[in-house]
Chains A and B, each alone.
Chain A
Amino acid sequence: MTDWIPALEARGFGLSYGSSRILEEISFTVPTGSVAAIIGPSGCGKSTFLRSVNRLNDLVPTTSYDGDLLIEGVSVFRPDTDLVDLRLQVGMVFQRPNPFPKSIYENVAYGPRLNRLGSRKDLPTLVERCLQRAALWDEVKDRLHESAMGLSGGQQQRLCIARALANEPQVLLMDEPCSALDPIATQRIEELIFELKQQYTIIIVTHNMQQAARVSDSTGFFESGRLIEYGPTEQIFTAPTQDRTEAYITGRFG
Chain B
Amino acid sequence: MINSRRVRRWTSNLMVGVVGLTVLIGILPLFLILGTLVVKGAGSLNLAFFLETPAPVGETGGGVAHAIVGTLLIVAVACLMGLPIGLAAGIHAAEFPGTRLSRATRFLADVMNGTPSIVVGVFAWTWVVARQGHFSGLAGSVALALLMIPMVMRTTEELILLVPNALREAALALGYSRWRTSLTIVARTALPGLVTGSLLAVARIAGETAPLLFTALGSQFMRTDVTQPMSALPLAVFAYATGPYEEWHRLAWASALVLILLVLFLSLLTRLATRSRFGSHE
> Which residues of A are at the interface with B, using a C-beta cutoff of 8 A?
54, 56, 59, 61, 83-85, 87-88, 91-92, 94, 96, 98-103, 110-111, 114-115, 147-149, 160, 163-164, 167
* Closest chain B residue, CB of each to CB of A54: B173
Asked if A101 and B175 make an inter-chain contact with CB atoms under 8 angstroms apart, the answer reads: no
Query: What are the residues of chain B within 8 A of A56 when measuring CB–CB?
Result: 169, 172-173
Which residues from chain B contact A101 at a C-beta distance below 8 Å? 167, 189, 276, 278-281
Q: Please give the distance in Å from A220's CB to the nearest CB on chain B.
A: 21
Number of interface residues of B (CB under 8 A): 25
Asked if B189 contacts A59 (CB within 8 A), the reply is no
| Contact string against A for B residues 165-184, beta-carbon threshold 8 Å, 1 for contact and 0 otherwise | 01111111111110010001
A98 and B176 alpha carbons, distance in the complex (Å): 15
Residues in chain A near residue B278, CB distance under 8 A: 101-103, 147-149
Interface string of B89-107 (1 = CB under 8 A from A): 0000000001000000000
| Chain B residue at minimal CB-CB distance from A95 | B166
B189 & A100 in contact (Cβ 8 Å cutoff): yes
- Do the beta carbons of A115 and B175 come within 8 Å of each other? yes
Given contacts A114-B180, A147-B277, A147-B278, contact A98 B167 (CB under 8 A): yes
What are 10 A-B pairs with beta-carbon distances under 8 A? A88-B175, A91-B173, A100-B167, A103-B278, A114-B175, A147-B278, A149-B278, A149-B279, A160-B170, A163-B174
**Total cross-chain contacts (CB, 8 A):** 72
For the complex of A and B, 6 pairs with smallest distance between CB atoms: A98-B166, A92-B173, A87-B175, A147-B278, A88-B175, A111-B174
A81 and B44 CA atoms in complex are apart in Å by 70
Nearest residue, chain B, Cβ from A103: B278
The answer to whether B169 and A98 have CB atoms under 8 Å apart is: yes
Contacts of A148 in B (CB 8 A): 278
Q: In the complex, what residues of B have CB within 8 A of residue A100's CB? A: 167, 170-171, 185, 189
Residue of chain A at shortest CB distance from B165: A59
**Smallest Cβ-Cβ distance to B176: which chain A residue:** A114
B172 touches A87 (CB 8 A): yes
Most chain A CB neighbours (cut-off 10 Å) among B170, B173, B188, B278: B173
Beyond A96-B166, A100-B170, A101-B189, whether A167 also contacts B279 by CB under 8 A is: no
Q: How far is the CB of A179 from chain B (nearest CB, A)?
A: 14
Structural contact, A167 and B169, CB atoms closer than 8 A: no
B189-A111 in contact (CB<8A): no
Within the complex, the shortest CB–CB distance from A157 to chain B, in Å, comes to 12
Q: How far is the CA of A115 from the CA of B175 in the complex (A)?
A: 8
B164 within 8 A of A: yes
Residues in A whose Cβ lies below 8 Å from that of B171: 100
A91, B175: Cα distance in complex, Å: 9
Give Cα A110–Cα B280 distance, bound, in whole angstroms: 18
Q: Which B184-212 residues have a C-beta within 8 angstroms of A?
A: 184-185, 188-189
* Complex Cα spacing A96 to B281, Å: 12
Closest Cβ of chain A to B168, distance in Å, is: 8
Q: Is the CB of B170 within 8 A of A84?
A: no
In the complex, how many angstroms separate the beta carbon of B261 from the nearest chain A beta carbon?
Answer: 34
Q: Among the interface residues B170, B171, B175, B280, which one has the most CB atoms of the partner chain A within 10 A?
A: B175
Q: Give the nearest-CB partner of A107 in chain B.
A: B170
**How near does chain A come to B5, taking the closest CB pair, in angstroms?**
40
Known: A91-B173, A92-B173. 20 other contacts (CB 8 A): A54-B173, A56-B172, A59-B172, A84-B177, A87-B173, A98-B166, A98-B167, A99-B170, A100-B167, A101-B276, A101-B279, A101-B280, A102-B188, A102-B278, A115-B175, A147-B279, A148-B278, A149-B278, A149-B281, A164-B174
Contacting pair B185 A111 (CB below 8 A) = no
CB distance from A134 to the nearest CB of B (A): 15
* Contact (Cβ within 8 A) A98 B98: no
Asked if B169 and A61 sit within 8 Å, CB to CB, the answer is no
Q: Which parts of B72-103 form the interface with A (CB within 8 Å)?
A: 98
